[in-house]
Structure 1
Amino acid sequence: MSAQFPVARPRRLRRTPALRRLVAETRLAPADLILPLFVKEGLAEPQPVASMPGVHQHTLDSLRKTAHEAVEAGVGGLILFGVPAVKDAVGSAGDDPDGIVQRALRELTAELGDSTVIMTDLCLDEFTDHGHCGIVTADGEIDNDATLERYASLAVAQAEAGTHVVAPSGMMDGQVAAIRAALDGAGFTDLPILAYSAKYASAYYGPFRDAAECAPTFGDRATHQQDPANADESLREVLADLDEGADMVMVKPAGAYLDIVRRVRDAVDVPVAAYQVSGEYAMIEAAAEKGWIDRERTIDESLVAIRRAGANLILTYWATEVARRLSSR
């Protein structure tokens, strides 16, 4: 062979779509995807979220319909966020047996049974009138330990309403231990915890706060969510949550933190989730609407990148759409 020609020709395995599929190192499946859903008390019809095209605040009826569509598409799970009609300083609606999340849980579990995994976000920001993730003291600080008591109560309320997994997202110190103890004490020893272990104080959450109506009325959440500048801290948080009884761990956001996803994946032997958050969703939708990017290719590439970084599970607002597309290939 002439020395002027290459011996190795990696392009041979890229020649056709069938070859590329055959040798793909990373595979995305519908069951890898989890669909976030918002249910709002008092709605007569579903309300579009202006900053998240295609996403709605649901009524109980439209929530059931959307959940059925996700299950039929093969989506692996759902995660539920609630918007109550009345909020107060301690988030009383969060553990009210007749609160919107508990009502939605009872309806979804009755209809769907074990055909999917129904998860519940466990935090106070959706239920408090100040929009913070915990109990606020007179001087405006978040009282970590008083907040743990509320989280424990929310966990039991969600368990009694039928959730399959609780997902604490408040980033309070000791939250997993407090929730595990409360669940075990109430007889829910088999209920798993998906801990938002590496959750950053990110600018990518803006549209979510529109959807969940939980923007803080003062200050921010930098005292409990992680500093975007830090990476080693994530592993300390993850390992602490596992020591306290977490069964799965999550990195949030996903796209700007793929290095954290990989570090966590390499460090632990439990399922790792990553949340493709509202800002990531909104940016792609906005750019696609302008015609600046190919929408479907960009969505698929963003999800494959998260999977390639090591996430077993991906929370994404495109879960149903992408699951249908994957199933048709």
Structure 2
Amino acid sequence: MRTSSKPMPFTEEQMKQVFDTNIIDFAVQNGFQIEKGDNYTVHVKNSGGLFLFNHGRGYYCFSTQTKGNIVDFAKEYLGASDFKSAAELILGCRAYEGLSPLVQPVEKGPKGDLVLPPKDKSFDRTIAYLTHTRGIDKEIVYAMIAEGKVYGARTEKNGYTFHNCAFVGYDETGKPRYCALRAPSSDSKFRQDVENSDKTYGFCMQGRSNRVYEFEAPIDAMSHATLCKLHGIDWREDHRVAEGCLSDKALYRYLQHHPEIEEIVFCYDNDVDGKDAKGQPHNHGQIQAEISAETYVDLGYKTMIQTPNNKDFNDDLTEFRKFMAQAPALQAFNDEIER
């Protein structure tokens, strides 16, 4: 018995358009900033090691050692869940609907004020991700939520609803000036700054001492605070600043408003598998830590470098959590041997 097959969601013309779309143009249209790479690529600004090929057909990320085409890019960096949703993002139209655009293109004007994404009805996804998946202490997560620096965001794009963790940086008047989004799932690599974000206003955890710790990401800052708490150290004592990239711009601004700070500890990632654009070994985080440490010594600060044992301080935290969970069983085993 012959059955009718399910109709293809896209026409041949649409499929051709998907793979003919220039990945560089597509990235720019979706808010990514491009800067010069090498003879064969352009670099996605503030992405670490994400490069797009000049021929417009694909990308390669040195930090994760992954590569792919424009469909893979839409899934990895724009939150598309499958091929169909990725193709719809690229085409700007729904499946089965021809080529009619969902949203009319709008020319970008001058950079305006940051508008934070709407808050989700519940922050459960964000809290579960940060506490269970990432192992961050609940007290710390709830403290950041109470300060408005962490929340669950709900965004609508091309007919799809996305739930993300939002990390917010404020200026001296309490006005939000920076917001970074990331998917609340270890299976998704989606992360993006909200339009009109100013990275000089980083995610900050204000302390009381004369020391500040600097990180690449908010999750690492909260992970470091958690590790301190687990070792009996008051996590609220020292300041913490997260850049949202491999930079020290947010730190520099923070120091202008905290003259009591005399010591800076650089806690950048330990990119032992990192490579530069030519494929040579390059520990991006630790090289930058050395450069920044020297720079701020010249500015009169006492500087130190604290290198995570693993890739970053969240990896250190999750490994420590695993060890602590296994400790009772190991102790019971040792006690049995002694008996």
Using structure 1 for the length normalisation, give the TM-score: 0.25
Which structure is richer in relative contact order (CA contacts within 8 A, separation 6 or more)? 1
Structure with the higher helix share, 1 or 2: 1
Larger Rg: 2
Using structure 2 for the length normalisation, give the TM-score: 0.25
